[in-house]
Structure formats: C-alpha cells, structure tokens
A and B are shown apart, each in its own frame.
Chain A
C-alpha cells in the first residue's frame, strides 16, 4: 500500500526486526478486485522456531516489568495507532472493507488498547484471593503470566480482531508469537506500530503464514507454554488438542472471530500461584 507507487514488501516481525522469511517465500496479496497490492512474506517453520527463541529471551524481562510500565506501553500503542489510522483504513479498504467499516474497525482497535491499558494494574486485585484455611497460615493466591504464548489470530483481516487476541495476553506479562492470516497486511503494519511504542524487542513476534503449515508447530513446540487458537475448524481444533498434550500446554480454544472485551481473557493466560505463609500463634 503506497501513495507514491512504490510497492511495499510486507515482512515478518521477529525479535524487534523485520526480516524476510528465511525460506525466501512470498505470497502475492491482491485486492478484492484482483489488483496486485503487495508481496507478503510467508513464514516457515524455521521462522516460527526463531520467533520462539526471541520470545523466550524477552519473556522474563516483560513478566517483571511493572504494571505501570505495561499500562503506559499499551496506551502508547493506542496513541501511535491512532496517529496512523489513515494508513490502516486504506489497507483495510484495499482488502474489501468499506470506508465506514474500516474506520470503525481501526477506532475499535484503538479503543480496545486504551481499555486494556487500564486493566494492567487492576486484574491482579480482581483475580487474587485470600483463602480461608484450617491451620495457622496466611494463604493467598495471585495470578502470574504463563510465559510464552502462541496466538493464532482470527482469520478475518480485521485489525480489531487481531488486537482483541493480542492485548489481553500481552498485558498479562506474556511474550507472544502471533500467527496472523497470510494476507493480513494490516497485521504487519501493526508490528510497525508496536516497534515505535516501546514494546521491548521479542515480546511480540508476528508471522504471516499459511495456517495448516504452522498451527501444528505452535501446539507441538515444548517451549510454548500456552496457545490461543481462534478457529471454527473442527479438525484443526481436535488435532491441536491432541498435539498440545505432550507438554500439558494450556490450549485456549475460541471461535474464529474477535474476542469479547473482557478481563477474563487476561486470566486465560495466567497461572495462579498460591502461597502458604505461617502466621504466629
């Protein structure tokens, strides 16, 4: 998508950089009218594994970042996205969204980010508890990030749908490897927004690829702690459940559409840690 007629190559987003696929493969993306729009990189299994390594490196630092900082960064993503909304409206338009729909979609994405930015220092209080126990212990439970989460985003080209899948897992302190649809040009543009919003390198990695090729890799990889699979395909869901059993991976299945705006989606990728603290007699 360009104004000056220079066709843009949409690359992958791994470890804070924009590499081409190591396989060298690309897919031509065409508009709803069949007109050439851009070449998008088609990620390979190796690209996925590289993303996992990058995300693993970044995971500990992001999990430790203060809620305040996470909130600031999410809010900044919203700000930057808002400032570039024209570009996103155009990209969505080229993929068949009407002007009105595209504008609404980008506005919804911005709004979602602001909404979730507010949750960064509140969900802990909501999901923590002090538990009554029958011994001389102070017993409490707190949510902690799952670690490395694979996100298989909804297939629709909607930016808001992508953000609805990414934001809750991200603010919960997880490092992400995101699989967007092969023709989701706005997904890669969204990565450009992430880069200029102080999201640390490697915390979000974004791949465009063919689903059938990469979904099994997401669920089988032992270093991925949890996966969100947005899918309506019965076989795809069933296979993912089988294949994720090897390392008892948390698999969150969701229909192939945007996630509802809810703090419970933060909880999808939190683990609850319970502490027994002795108290004096």
Chain B
C-alpha cells in the first residue's frame, strides 16, 4: 500500500456534520433485510473481516494461542468459513501470536502508543510501536491524544500520526480516534481528515475501553470522510469500527452501510475490519443456524 503524507488539513475544510441527518440516515440502513444466500455470504464475509481481539490485563500465552487457533479456523470442519483477517493483541503477546498464526492468512495487529489512553510522552509511545513491529506485528493500532485534540492542538495530532507511521515502517497503521471521547460528529470528521492526511492506512472508531464505542452514525461520518478523501486524493483508506458490535445483525447493518457509502471496492477484509471479541461466536451461531435451521446455543461454541 502506497502511503503519502498530505498537507495539514484546515479546520474549515472539514464540513460541519448534520447530527440529526446522520443519525436518521444511519437508522435507515437498519431497515434492510438480508435473507438466505445473501445473508449467508454476508455472514461469511463478516467473519473474514474480523480482527479477533483480546486486550485484557489477564491475557496469557494460552489464551492468545486459543484465540489464534479460532482465527485460523473459526468453525472447525468447515473450511468455507474464515479465516479471520487478523488477531489483535497487546505488544507483549505479538511474538506468541505471530508463531500461532504462522502459515495462515491471519495477520497480527498490535495496539501500541500507550493504548488505551495515549497519555505518555511521544518518545515512549513511538518506542512501543517499534517494539511491536520488531516482534513481527503486521499492523499497528495507535491511539491519538484525545486530550490534546480537545485542547485544540490539532497539529500535534497530525505530527504524532506522521511520526507513528514512520515508526511503523512496512506495518500498516490504524488510527484509533476514540470517538466516544471526541464529543461531537464535527470533531470525529476533522480527526478523520487529519488522520488520513497524516498517512493512516485505516481509521478506527474506538479502543473498546470507554463506555461509548462504535455506533452506526459515527461510522457513517468516518465513511463519508474516507469517500471525500478518496475523491480528492485518489488514495483508499480502510475503516474499522470497534467495540460494541456484539451481534451478527448489527454487523450486517454495518456491511450494508459500507456498501451504500463506499461501494463494493471496500467490501473486502483489506479495506474493512470489525474489531470485536464476542461478535465471532454470534456470527458462527448465525451461520450454523442458516445451515441447520436450528437456533443455536453458546454452549456448543468455544468461548476463547
């Protein structure tokens, strides 16, 4: 993926967002209904777009191993499902994950830059990025300094993303805006514009560590930013909603919205990801339901 840095975007160039308009439009995507074959293919597509995630203090080598196994083969005995796009772990677990997904298409993503708060000097945050890349991470999920953004120090955000992108080297950079802390859609839109101009390969809604995570309207705002950026510069940027997407129905609504806003070009794991931990099982249960006609129980699916 060719990455270029674009000039710092002026605040006035980011359009103001019509809050009720966005929320109403997002709501309309929920009225679509996918059935039968199209539902099945959407469910399988969603599985292949998963960044299967574990970001807990309690993460152990064993847990990461299990999760990687599940990412490689989500439904044992059914190779048509999966593999997931990536596993997402803390930097210390990267080498474990890299070994566990060897010889599969699953990539390894690491959160870095003092995830989830980002409250540390840039020097240490960049060192963390280099460490994760050195351990073998294919993708880095960074957080922006929301405090600085809210103080109006927009250029500092732009510069920290450029610095991170540089520290990433060949690894892809996903920029987490933590939209739940940005207060308004206008802020989300401007933060998206800054991140893309600074060279982000993906923009991502949330860490999953604050009460308000990904929502349909906020994702819609970010998708529109991606569309405008693509039109202006010709560069494609990926989208990753994360946190709070816990059931298959909601995941399919995201896909419907993606298809409507950005078109089929973005409808691949290369350009769209779900950051989730509990979504996986619900997708698998829905797939089994489509096959067998029986509604499923969590008792028959692995927990980790």
The chain A residue with its CB closest to the CB of B297 is A223
Q: Is the CB of B295 within 8 A of A52?
A: yes
CA distance A223 to B299 in the complex (A): 8
CA distance A220 to B297 in the complex (A): 11
CA distance A247 to B299 in the complex (A): 10
Q: Is the CB of A49 within 8 A of B295?
A: yes
CA distance A223 to B294 in the complex (A): 10
CA distance A52 to B297 in the complex (A): 10
CA distance A221 to B294 in the complex (A): 6
Hey, which chain A residues are within 8 Å of B295, CB to CB? 49, 52, 217, 220-223
Asked whether any CB of chain B lies closer than 8 Å to the CB of A246, the reply is yes
Query: Considering residues A49, A56, A221, A222, which has the most beta carbons from chain B within 10 angstroms of its beta carbon?
Result: A222
Hey, which chain A residues are within 8 Å of B297, CB to CB? 221-223, 247
Interface mask (A67-111 → B, CB under 8 Å = 1, otherwise 0):
000000000000000000000000000000000000000000000
CA distance A220 to B295 in the complex (A): 7
Hey, which chain B residues are within 8 Å of A247, CB to CB? 294, 297, 300
List 6 contacting pairs A-B, 8 Å CB cutoff, sorted by A. A220-B293, A222-B294, A222-B295, A223-B295, A223-B299, A246-B292
The chain B residue with its CB closest to the CB of A224 is B297
Asked whether any CB of chain A lies closer than 8 Å to the CB of B95, the reply is no
Hey, which chain A residues are within 8 Å of B296, CB to CB? 222-223
Asked whether any CB of chain A lies closer than 8 Å to the CB of B298, the reply is yes
Q: How large is the interface on B (under 10, 10 to 19, 20 to 34, 35 or more residues)?
A: under 10
Hey, which chain B residues are within 8 Å of A220, CB to CB? 293-295
The chain A residue with its CB closest to the CB of B292 is A246
Which residues of B come within 8 Å of A, CB atoms?
292-300
We find that the number of chain A residues with CB closer than 8 angstroms to chain B is: 10
The chain A residue with its CB closest to the CB of B296 is A222
Contact of B294 among A52, A56, A246 (CB under 8 A): A246
Which residues of A come within 8 Å of B, CB atoms?
49, 52, 56, 217, 220-223, 246-247
Hey, which chain A residues are within 8 Å of B293, CB to CB? 220
Hey, which chain A residues are within 8 Å of B300, CB to CB? 222, 247
CA distance A56 to B293 in the complex (A): 20
4 tightest A-B CB contacts, nearest first: A223-B297, A222-B297, A221-B295, A222-B296
Shortest C-beta distance, A206 to chain B (Å), equals 20
Hey, which chain B residues are within 8 Å of A52, CB to CB? 295
CA distance A49 to B249 in the complex (A): 14
CA distance A246 to B289 in the complex (A): 13
The chain B residue with its CB closest to the CB of A45 is B295
CA distance A223 to B301 in the complex (A): 12
CA distance A80 to B297 in the complex (A): 35
The chain B residue with its CB closest to the CB of A52 is B295
CA distance A221 to B295 in the complex (A): 5
Hey, which chain A residues are within 8 Å of B298, CB to CB? 56, 223
CA distance A52 to B294 in the complex (A): 13
Hey, which chain B residues are within 8 Å of A223, CB to CB? 295-299
The chain B residue with its CB closest to the CB of A148 is B297
Hey, which chain B residues are within 8 Å of A56, CB to CB? 298
CA distance A95 to B72 in the complex (A): 60
CA distance A280 to B260 in the complex (A): 70
Query: Considering residues B297, B298, B300, which has the most beta carbons from chain A within 10 angstroms of its beta carbon?
Result: B297
